[in-house]
Structures are given as structure tokens and as C-alpha cells.
Structure 1
Amino acid sequence: MSTVSAGPRTTLRSVADLPCPRGLPLLGNLLQLSPPRLHRILEQWAAELGAPYRFEIAGVPITVWTDTEVIQGIMRERPHRYRRYQPVEAVFSEMGFNGLFSAEGAAWEPQRRLVMQALSIPNIKAFYPTLADITARLRARWLRAAQRGETVEMTEDLKRYTIDVTSALAFGEDPRTLERDHGVIQEHLEQILPGVMSRINALFPYWRYVKLPRDCKLDASLAEVHRYVRATMERARERMRDDPSETPRNLLEAMLVQQQEPASGITDAHIAANVLTLLLAGEDTTADSIAWTMPYLAADPALQATLGDEARRVLGDAPVCPDYASLKDLDLFEAVCIEATRLRPVASIHSFEPLEDVTVSNVALKKGTRMFFISRPAMLDAKNFADPQRYDPYRWLRRHERDASEGEPQGAHDVRAYLQFGAGPRVCPGRHLATVEMRLALSMLMKEFTLELTIDPAKINEVQQFTMVPDTMPVKLAPRVQAA
């Protein structure tokens, strides 16, 4: 039995000893749960009951945790002692995209090596001119909207941006969704993660027996996305035949080459699963992370002015960051986004289960016990971050200044409590690309425009769709008045 400890040892407890919100006989807490509000409900119960606690669905207990040391320890022990919550892999597999994100055991490691290589710093550096061109297309789209006085639905535009970036980098194709308003793959991709969320939390797989309208819509989008992915694979094979290269030019080519090796065991289904996984990851998490900065920027004209000045200093006359080397001077733009997602965590729930009997924080957990970690409580804890309710992007820069000067800390700043990219062996392989996109998109935005929300920010709802997304983010852009 393995042990993950946090704090002093006390008497060993069982799952049944943990506090539990009052529920109903047989159903437990099922009727109190709403998938779109799941993170909020779990956070409220943590505030009322403390953590760890449990809730129950039809007699099945699910434990809920908030301790940074516990989740760090569990993430370090993946994938050998813990795995992702089993229904995640089951639903992803059924939908045809059990790729790197959801794969477990021996299936994970070879996929990891390929994806890490594709998303490595040297690859992204070589890809930078294309990345800058796509950012320039986003700028052109926003300039048109500003000139016409149109409201920009920021989350949708940013998803188009991240899809174009991910497709061009990983698959050698740029779908150019930024240049079209309808008939783009993003319209189908956006149906998938809400469907995943619904099916993971379903009491039983009803959709295998009866299709509700939402299931028919999801199935149609899945079919269209799979057609798109298979066509992408065939075009890649044609390019490789017509223009052979000694080394693969992108992730898709690398997977197709590896497929040809003796006893590789890689099928078209494996490749398609990873293509779709990367499309979903690229489309959703980075776009939503950038989108969550908008309420904080809109509420702070002085910060907008500072960011505009900083963007002009680094970018000069260029419409977007002129080269990869200059990205290092855009720390503040990444900090703006990291701080927004500390308060509005896109990865708001992490779910695991042990592969053997374990003891965690003096709680005995049987193999397969379901474990949810809610990430926001630790990021709003004054033990981890000074003045935690305050939006302060400079806290991330002051940390670097302290490290450089070896001066005394100016309040708590425990980066281990920020788990938006995960930790341990299965840390997000796309984290560097994500931070490059944050720096590029936000520096371009702040150099060119001022912004304001066209809605009361209190009316923007957090929606759990596997990731935590805003239900709307309408923004009006105005050309920034340049100083004489």
C-alpha cells in the first residue's frame, strides 16, 4: 500500500468516515449535481465541509480533495500508481479519440514521445514565422470588427486562432478558420467536450439505447470531425509520397512514419485519436485561458495602457512580435493570463483513481476509488498566494525578481498550487506552445486596441464543459490612440 501524506499523521480513516453533504436514499447526491456547475458545487461543499470530503452517486463514493501536496504527490506517481478517472478513457475511446490525454498504461509512453517532440521548443521556434502569420490574420479579423463597430465574441475568435495554430504545427495544414465565418471545423469541435462532460457524469450509458436530440447533434459532429481527420491523414500521405523527406516535417508525418515500422502496432485509429486529441486541446484550453483575461483587462484601463506601452516597446513598428527571440521580453503578457486562470481555472477539476490500495492524508482508499481534485481553493488560499482574491499579474514577475536577487519573499507565492498545466510525468506537453500563444495574441491585442466588455462581467457564467469556460465573452475593440 502506497502513501501520499500531507500534514501530521493522525488516526487512519476510511472513505465512509469523511464528511458528506446530505443526500437522498439510494440516489445519494445525484439530484444536487449539475454538470455545467459541477466545479462550483464541489467548491461550495469544500467550503462547508472541509476537505477531503465525499459525495455519493447511487452508492458510489467520490472523494474530493484540495490539498496541493496531495495532488502534487499523486501527479508524480502517475501513470504507475494512479490513472485518470476511468470513465474519461471509456468515453474518449467510445468517441474515437483515446489519444495521449486519456490513454493509460503502456499505450501512453510511445504517444508521449511523439507529441513531446512535435511540441518541443526547437520545433516551435522553427514554426514561429507561420505562428506570427496566423496571429497577423487574427489582427486583421479584429481590425475589421473594430472598423465596423462589431462586437467580438472573443472566445470563438480565439478558438479559431488556436485551431489554425495547432493544425499548421502538428499536421502541416492550416484550415484558415480565421478567414471564414461559417462552415469551419471549429463549429463541430465545440460540440465535443460538452458531450464528453455529459457522458462522463451520466449514471449509465443511456445513449447506447436511446438517442436524445443532443446525442444526435453530438454524433453528427463526431462523424464530421472524424471525416475531417481521415481526410487530413490521406492528404499527409499524398504529400509524403509526392515530396519525400528524410525526417518527418510534423507530428502527423511522424506518426505515419512510425506506423510503417515492423511490429509498431499503430493503426489509423490510433493516429486519428491523437490528431483529434490535439485539435481539441489546442482549440479549447488555450483559447479559454486567454479569453478569461478579458474581464480583468476591461476593468483596468491603466493596465491596458501599461500593456500597450510594453507591446510597442517590444514590437516596435511590427504588427505582431517580430521574432521568436523577442518573446522573452513579453513576460507581463503571460503573467496577465496566468493570473486570470489562477482566479478562473480552466482546469478546475482533476480526476484520478488509484491502481492499488493506497493511503492518502491518512485516508485508506481502495483500488479504483474515485478522486476529484478541485484546483481553485488552493489558489485562493493565503498560505499559497498573498492577497489571493486580488487580480495581480505582477505577483508572477516579482517572483522572478526575488529569485534573481535572492531577496526575502514579499508574501506567499507557491507555484506548486498553480496546476493548470498539471505536474509530474504527465505534465501538459503543449504548455510552451500555450504560453507562446498567450504572449503573441495578447501583445498584438494590446498594441493595437483598447477593449471593453459589452456585458456586465457578473453575468458571464463559468460553465464546466470538461474544461471550465465562459458562456460568453462579448468585447468591443477600439483602435488604440498612439502617442504623438
Structure 2
Amino acid sequence: MNAAPITTSLREIDDLPSPRGLPLLGNLHQLPPATHHLTLERWAAELGTPYAFRFGTTPVTVWNDIELSHAVMRERPHRYRRYAPIENILKEFGCNGLFSIEGAAWEPQRRLVMQALSIPHIKAFYPTLAAITERLRRRWEAAAREGRVVDMTDDLKRFTVDVTSALAFGEDPNTLENERVLIQEQLAMLLPMLMARVNAPFAYWHYVKFPRDRKFDQALIDVHRHIRELMARARARMREEAAAEACATPLGDTAHAPRNLLEAMLALRDTPDSGITDDEVAANVLTMLVAGEETTATSIAWALLFLGSDDALQARVAASARGVLGDSAVCPSYGAMRELDLCEAVCTEASRLHPVAPYLSFEPLEEVRLQGVRLPAGTKMFMLNRPAMMDPNNYADPEQYDPDRWLHDHRHESASERGAHEPRAYLQFGAGPRVCPGRHLAAVEMRLVVSMLTANFTAQLATNPADIREVCTFTAVPSEMPMRLAVR
């Protein structure tokens, strides 16, 4: 008699463990927007993964497997896409740029952004980046001499808006010195509203506008007016420079070489049959502004939680920074910046414990079978980031804040000497074809700001560290980061 074939039963989404919910609402009432990511992590610890919860009647599967996360991201954008409600809402905002756009439109835009954020381009931009860092230093010096508490998160967002605008668009709004520039305040409204609308049980704003919605709509109008003015000024500069080049070399090639991302996008847009519209250029401008402002500023802010409450660590980082900066207030060159590994490590380790992106969200474009679960096309998938970064199999003493685990010398110790260290478990910049194109710029900004701060000031938290909470506004930001600075 032949043995019966061994079969593995395939589970459906309804077979997965799930927190108890309510009819029609599902688990919405258990997911406060500001802390829902913490609830998702708690359910993962209680139920195991994968599990499923429900936004109203829509099931969402939740996963905690680093290899699966990498596999899904490798197969974007051809087999998986970002969570569709994100793209739908960003289209309404006029912000469906490289971060959220799907399909054939992604690749040509990706090439332009990667070129604008390439290492050679950032190296050439370094003097401007250092000048903006010096501007931030002067702002903090004035606050220190006046004894004012500094809202570090706000100042860091001003810094990153100035950097992103100068690098990508060729214009510096100087929000650090011009308090009345509203663009930073208006941009700060976008991600919280995105989170609120993505998680809303239905698109209520299509039918009724609350005061918050009306305020946001006006901010969007103002931001888009600002972007169109940026585009118009860039086109005018391109025409003037092309005309000047034509006069200088009447028989030569007079094509104007784009100097920044905005000029490159406009040049492509104005190429016959490009298939790119002004609206798509504007969407990418807005995407760059929001992404450049939020994620890097938040990573640095979380590092300040640890630097501002550990005098010994701050003294060590200060000594390391001053050894590189010499007599300069700001790191003097791109080459010297590359020696500031510890300054980046304090940010990386802070965002391991407080991930700026607590989870990544995807949908399969076709039916897939993952870990014995059948997922129809369009199934919502949340991939939790923090549990893998808190797993002792991935990082030794994971509860301990230890920047040294990211330093070059430490990484090259034997496994028995340093314990577990799995860089693949750190997914703050994503992975695969759609890995964050701004990761190198973010690293440079972290090194510049942390070295400038610690070399020139002593910084102490102006509140109890235990009172600083994670607040999810699409990214997980600190509820506050007030600090008192003193000039060294």
C-alpha cells in the first residue's frame, strides 16, 4: 500500500489569530491614532505573527519576520505595492511622488531623484550644507545666551527643510532665521493628516469638512502655490542661462545642464512626449520637502533623548567631534565628515529603539502564499520593524542603548566578542529596489548636526525623559524634546 501524500493545510486570513473586535467597527476603537503602533506590537507579542485585525470590515495582516520583509521589498514594485490608501490620499493632496507612486511612472522618477541625492552631488553641495548647519549653530547659541529652552524637534525640522530646499530646488527658504516663513509649519500638517485619513473608516472629508480639514486645505493651497512659484523661478533661470550659453557658444551645444532635482525634473517634463506633467513635478517637490523634513529631523531628535540624559555619553561624543572639527564650529569638509562615525551611530541606535518607521505597509498585486497563509491580491499587510530590532538573536542586549554596536571597529569583532549584530534587521530606510534614496543625505545631516551640537554646547533635557512618548503621525516622533543649551 502506498503511503498517503503528506499535505500542508493552507490557512486563510480568517484562520489567523485576531484580537476581539466589534461588529462593523472591527478593532478601530482599540487603535488610538497616536499610539496604534504600540498596540500592534503588543498584539504581536500576545498573539504571535502573523495575526489579523480589522479596520472596520477590512482585514489587515500583521507580520514580524525580517526575511519576509526583505523578500517582499525585493519584489517591489512588480509583485507588491505600498498600502493603496496611502497613494489614494496622497493623490488628493497633490503629493503622489516617488514615495508612493506605483507602476511604470516610478522608474524614470527614481533615476532623477537618485542622481540628485547621489554621493557626488551631496559632496559638491557640502559647503552649502555646512553653511546651513552654521546657521543652526547661531540660532542655538542665541538661545543658550538668553537662557531659553529650545524646541529641538521644531528647530531640526527647520534645518532639514532648508537643506532639502537648497539641495533639491536651488532655493533656500532660511526658515532658521526667518520666523515668519510658514512653509515649515504648513508641511508639518501633512503627515498627521495623512495618518488620520488613511485610518478613517470612510472618506468623511468628501462630504463634510471639520475645522481641522478646512485649515489643512488652506495650508495645501498655500504649499502648492509656493511649489508652483519655485517651478516658475526655476524655469526662468533655466531659460536665462540657456540664452547666455547660446550667446557664448553660438555654434556649440547649448543644452543647459540641470543643477538640481527640480531643474532635472523640469527638463524631463519639457522634453517632447515625456509623459510627465507639471502636476507630477509638483508632487515630487512636495514629497521631497515632507520626506526631507520629517524622517531625518526625527532620527536626530530621538538621539537627543539619550545624549541629553547621559553626561558621560555626551562628553564622549563631544570629544570625538572636537577631534574631527579642530578649531571649526562646524565640520569643515566632506572628507572630515566621514570620520564622524560616532555621531551617526548615536542616531542609528536611537532609531533602533524608537523606529521612525514603526512598520511598513504593503499589498500583493496578485494572490500570494506566505508562511502557509493565502493572501488574495490587495490584502493589507503591515510588517512590524521594532520586534526584530529588539530580538536578542539579532542584537546583543537589545534593550540597552549602545551606539558602539554600529561602529566600524565593533562590527569587525568576532561574534563571540560583540554578540549578535544583524544589520539586515534595521529597516529604517527600507530595502530592495525602493530603498530610501535619501539615506546618504540623512547620514551626512546626522553627522553634521550631532557633531556641531556636542562640540559647541552642553545640552540637557528640560523635562523628565520618562515623560517623552512616541507619537505616531505616520512617522513615530517624540511628543516633545525641550533642551537647555550652554555654550562650551
CA contact (8 A) 1:159 1:287 kept: yes
2:293 to 283, 286, 305: 283
Q: Following TM superposition, by how much is the alpha carbon of 1:274 offset from its aligned partner in structure 2, in angstroms?
A: 0.3
Question: Which residue of 147, 152, 155 maps to 1:154?
Answer: 152
3-state DSSP class of the match of 1:256? helix
Residues 13-59 of structure 1: CA deviation (Å, up to 9, x unaligned): 21111100011123211211111111111011111111111001232
- 2:140 matches 1:142: yes
The 5 A counterparts of 1:4-19 are 11-19=9-17
Query: 2: CA distance between counterparts of 1:82 and 1:475?
Result: 42
2-structure distance, mates of 1:132, 1:361: 48
- C-alpha separation in 1, matches of 2:72 and 2:385: 14
1:412 to 407, 420, 425: 420
**Residue of structure 2 equivalent to 1:426:** 434
Q: Which runs of 5+ in 1 are unaligned?
A: 1-8
Q: Which residue of 2 aligns with 1:455?
A: 463
Q: CA RMSD in A?
A: 1.3
SS at match of 2:53: strand
User: What is the CA–CA distance in structure 2 between the aligned matches of 1:405 and 1:458, rounded to whole Å?
Assistant: 34
- CA–CA distance in 2 between the matches of 1:154 and 1:412? 33
Runs of 4+ residues over 6 Å off in structure 1: none
SS of match in other structure, 1:93: helix
1:342 maps onto 2:342 in alignment: no
Is the 8 Å Cα contact of residues 402 and 408 (structure 1) preserved in structure 2? no
Distance 1:114 1:59 in 2: 40
Tell me the alpha carbon deviations over residues 136-179 of structure 1, each in whole angstroms, 9 at most, x when there is no partner: 00000000000000000000000000000000000000000000
Once the two structures are superposed, the pairs formed by residues 1-400 of structure 1 within 5 Å of their partners are: 11-244=9-242, 246-397=256-407, 400=408
Unaligned runs of 5+ in 2: 1-6, 243-254
Q: Which amino acid aligns with 1:410?
A: R
* Cα distance, 1:109 vs structure 2: 0.6
In the alignment, the residues of structure 2 paired with residue 405 and residue 345 of structure 1 have an alpha-carbon distance, to the nearest angstrom, of: 26
Decide which of 459, 466, 476 is 2:474's aligned counterpart.
466
- Show CA shifts across 1:77-124 (max 9, x none): 100000000000000001101000000010111100000000000000
Which residue does 1:4 correspond to in 2? none
* 1:476 matched to 2:474: no
Aligned residue type for 1:47: A
Task: Give 3-state SS (helix, strand or coil) of 1:468's partner.
Answer: strand
2:448 aligns with one of 433, 440, 447: 440
Asked if the contact 1:92/1:196 (under 8 Å) is kept, the reply is yes
Query: So what's the TM-score if we normalise by structure 2?
Result: 0.94
> Residue type matched to 1:431 in 2?
R
Contact kept in structure 1, 2:340 and 2:451, CA below 8 Å: yes
Q: CA deviation at 1:314?
A: 0.2
Deviation at 1:381, TM superposition (A): 0.8
Secondary structure of 1:13's aligned partner: coil
**Structure 1 residue 405 displacement after superposition:** 6.3
For the residues of structure 2 that align with 1:137 and 1:376, how far apart are their CA atoms? 35
Between Structure 1 and Structure 2, whose CA radius of gyration is higher?
A: 2
Whole-angstrom distance in 2 between the partners of 1:407 and 1:275? 44
Structure 2 CA distance for partners of 1:454 and 1:404, relative to 1, 3 Å? closer
Shift of 1:269: 0.2
**Partner amino acid, structure 1, of 2:300:** I
Residue 326 of structure 1 aligns to a residue in which SS?
A: helix
**Distance in 2 (alpha carbons) for counterparts of 1:73 and 1:362:** 15
Distance verdict in 2 for CA 1:475–1:10, change over 3 Å:
farther
2:247: which partner in 1?
none
Corresponding residue for residue 250 of structure 2: none
1:386 Cα deviation from its structure 2 partner: 0.5
**Alpha-carbon spacing, 1:372–1:150, altered in 2? closer, same or farther (3 Å):** same
Question: How many residue pairs were aligned?
Answer: 470
Q: Quick check: 1:453–1:474 contact (8 Å CA) kept in 2?
A: yes
Distance across 2 between alignment mates of 1:136 and 1:233: 28
Structure 1 pair 385–198 and aligned structure 2 pair: CA distance change class (3 A)? same
SS in 2 for 1:107: helix
| Residue pair 2:404, 2:410 contacting (<8 A) in 1 also | no
Write the distance in 1 (CA, Å) between the matches of 2:414 and 2:308: 35
- SS of the aligned residue for 2:338 comes to helix
Give the structure-1-normalised TM-score.
Answer: 0.95
Given that residues 325 and 331 in structure 2 are in contact (C-alpha distance below 8 angstroms), is that contact kept between their aligned partners in structure 1?
Answer: yes
